[in-house]
C-alpha cells in the first residue's frame, strides 16, 4: 500500500479509533482532561519563570502554589456569599410570590373583563402555587447542591488526581511536545508543524482569552446585580458570565432570570431598569473592549460552529464533552482549512 496515496485513510482510521476510545473511557477522563487543560494554560507562566533561571520543577511548584493562593480564598468567599444569598432567597420566597401576584393582577383583571367566564381568583391561586413551588424547588436544589457539592463530586479524581496530572503535564510539557515531534512522519512533518502552530494559536487565543472574558463578565454581572440588591444576583450574574462563551446564551438567560426575579422581589420598577442597564452595559463592554482585546478576531471560530460543537459534545460525552467541545472544534476547523488549501493545490481541483 502506498502511504502517500492512502495517508488520509490511515489518519481517518486513527481518528475514528481515537474517538471510540474517548467515548468508551469518557466516565474516567474528566480529571485528566482538566489536568491537561490546566497544564496547557499555565505553561507560559512556568516557561517565564524557567527563563528567569528557575528549575522547571521549581517553576511548576511556584505556579501551582500561586494558583492555589489566589483561587482557594476566592472560591471560599464566593461559596459563603452564595450560601448567604440562597438562605435569604428561601426565607423571602412568600414575599416574592405575593409581590409577583400583585404585579400581574391588572393583567388578570383585564382578561376577566374580556372573558367573563374566567375565574380570576382561581388563576391567582394557581399562579401563587406554581410560582411558590417552582421557586422553592429551584432554591432548594441550589442550596442542596451548594451544601452537598463535595459529596456530588468524586473527591479522589478532582481533588487528588487533577493536581497530580496538572503538575506532571506542566513540568514535562516541553519534553512531551519534543517526543510527539520526534514521532511525526518525516515527509509530513513540516505541514503538521504548521497546522500544530495554527492550532496552538487558535486554542491559546480562544481558551485563555475567553476564560478571561467569562471571568471578568461574571464578576461584573454578579457585582452589578449584588449592588442592585437582587437576591441570587451573585449566582445569576456569575453563571451568566461563565456561560457567555456560548454566544448570546449567557447574557440572554441571565437577563431573563434577573428581570423575573427583580419583578418578584421589588415593589417598583427602578431595579428592573437597573438590571437592564447592567446587562446592556456588560454586552457593550464585552463586544467593544473585552472580546476584541483578549480574544481578538484571528480565532476563526464562528458562533454557529461553537454552539454546534457544544451541543454535540454535551450529547455524546456529557460534561466532559462540554469541556473538550471548543478545543476539538478549533482543531477540526484548522485541519479543515488546511485540507481545503491542499485540495485547491491538488490536481483534482486544478485539472480542466
Q: What confidence score (pLDDT) does residue 278 get?
A: 93
- Transcribe 40-93 into DSSP letters: HHHHHHHHHHHHTT--HHHHHHHHHHHHHHHHHHHHHHHHHHHHHHHHHHHHTH
What angle separates helix 249-265 from helix 209-228, to the nearest 10 degrees?
A: 10
180/60: higher pLDDT: 60
Residue-wise pLDDT tens digits, 323-334: 778 778 777 877
In the structure grid, which three cell numbers stand for residue 212, read together? 478571561
Reply yes or no on whether the pLDDT at 137 is more than 50. Answer: yes
Q: What confidence score (pLDDT) does residue 220 get?
A: 93
Q: How many CB atoms lie within 10 A of CB 271?
A: 20
In the structure grid, which three cell numbers stand for residue 85, read together? 444569598
The domain locations on the chain are 188-340
Residue-wise pLDDT tens digits, 153-194: 455 556 678 888 888 888 888 888 888 777 777 776 777 777
Distances (CA, A) of 339 to 132, 259, 328, 336: 56, 47, 16, 5
CB 275, CB 258: distance < 8 Å: yes
CB 57, CB 44: distance < 8 Å: no
186 CA to centre of own chain: 38
Q: What confidence score (pLDDT) does residue 279 get?
A: 93
The rounded percent of the chain whose pLDDT value lies above 90 is 7
Ramachandran bin of 301, using left for φ above 0, alpha for ψ from -120 to 50, beta for the remaining angles: beta
- In degrees rounded to 5, what are phi and psi of residue 114? -75, -35
Reply yes or no on whether the pLDDT at 53 is more than 70. Answer: yes
* CA pair distance 253, 219, nearest whole angstrom: 16
* CB burial readout 201-222, b (16+ within 10 A) else e: ebbbbbbebbbebbebbbebbb
Q: What is the pTM of this model?
A: 0.67
Reported for 77-86, long-range contacts at CB under 8 A and 24+ positions apart, including other chains, are: 78/234, 78/238, 79/146, 81/234, 82/146, 82/234, 82/235, 83/143, 83/146, 83/147, 85/231, 85/232, 85/233, 85/234, 85/235, 86/139, 86/142, 86/143, 86/146, 86/232, 86/235
Amino acid at each position: 500500500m502506498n502511504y502517500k496515496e492512502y495517508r488520509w485513510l490511515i489518519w481517518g482510521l486513527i481518528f475514528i479509533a481515537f474517538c471510540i476510545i474517548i467515548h468508551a473511557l469518557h466516565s474516567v477522563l474528566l480529571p485528566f482532561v482538566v489536568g491537561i487543560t490546566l497544564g496547557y494554560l499555565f505553561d507560559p507562566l512556568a516557561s517565564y519563570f524557567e527563563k528567569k533561571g528557575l528549575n522547571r520543577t521549581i517553576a511548576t511548584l511556584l505556579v501551582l502554589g500561586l494558583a492555589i493562593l489566589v483561587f482557594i480564598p476566592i472560591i471560599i468567599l464566593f461559596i459563603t456569599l452564595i450560601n448567604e444569598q440562597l438562605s435569604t432567597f428561601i426565607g423571602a420566597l412568600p414575599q416574592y410570590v405575593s409581590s409577583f401576584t400583585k404585579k400581574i393582577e391588572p393583567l388578570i383583571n383585564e382578561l376577566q373583563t374580556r372573558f367573563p367566564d374566567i375565574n380570576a381568583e382561581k388563576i391567582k391561586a394557581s399562579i401563587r402555587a406554581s410560582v411558590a413551588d417552582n421557586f422553592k424547588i429551584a432554591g432548594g436544589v441550589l442550596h442542596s447542591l451548594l451544601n452537598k457539592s463535595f459529596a456530588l463530586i468524586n473527591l479522589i479524581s478532582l481533588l487528588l488526581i487533577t493536581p497530580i496530572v496538572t503538575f506532571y503535564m506542566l513540568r514535562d510539557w516541553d519534553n512531551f511536545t519534543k517526543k510527539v515531534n520526534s514521532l511525526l512522519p518525516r515527509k509530513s512533518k513540516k505541514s503538521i508543524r504548521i497546522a500544530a502552530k495554527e492550532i496552538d494559536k487558535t486554542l491559546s487565543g480562544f481558551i485563555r482569552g475567553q476564560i478571561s472574558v467569562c471571568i471578568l463578565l461574571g464578576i461584573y454581572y454578579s457585582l452589578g446585580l449584588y449592588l442592585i440588591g437582587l437576591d441570587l444576583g451573585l449566582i445569576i450574574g456569575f453563571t451568566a458570565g461563565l456561560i457567555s462563551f456560548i454566544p448570546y446564551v449567557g447574557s440572554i438567560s441571565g437577563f431573563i432570570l434577573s428581570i423575573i426575579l427583580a419583578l418578584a422581589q421589588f415593589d417598583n420598577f427602578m431595579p428592573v431598569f437597573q438590571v437592564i442597564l447592567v446587562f446592556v452595559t456588560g454586552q457593550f463592554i464585552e463586544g467593544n473592549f473585552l472580546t476584541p482585546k483578549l480574544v481578538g478576531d484571528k480565532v476563526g471560530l464562528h458562533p454557529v460552529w461553537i454552539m454546534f460543537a457544544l451541543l454535540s459534545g454535551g450529547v455524546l460525552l456529557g460534561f466532559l464533552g462540554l469541556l473538550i467541545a471548543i478545543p476539538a472544534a478549533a482543531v477540526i476547523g484548522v485541519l479543515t482549512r488546511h485540507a481545503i488549501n491542499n485540495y485547491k493545490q491538488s490536481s483534482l481541483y486544478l485539472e480542466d
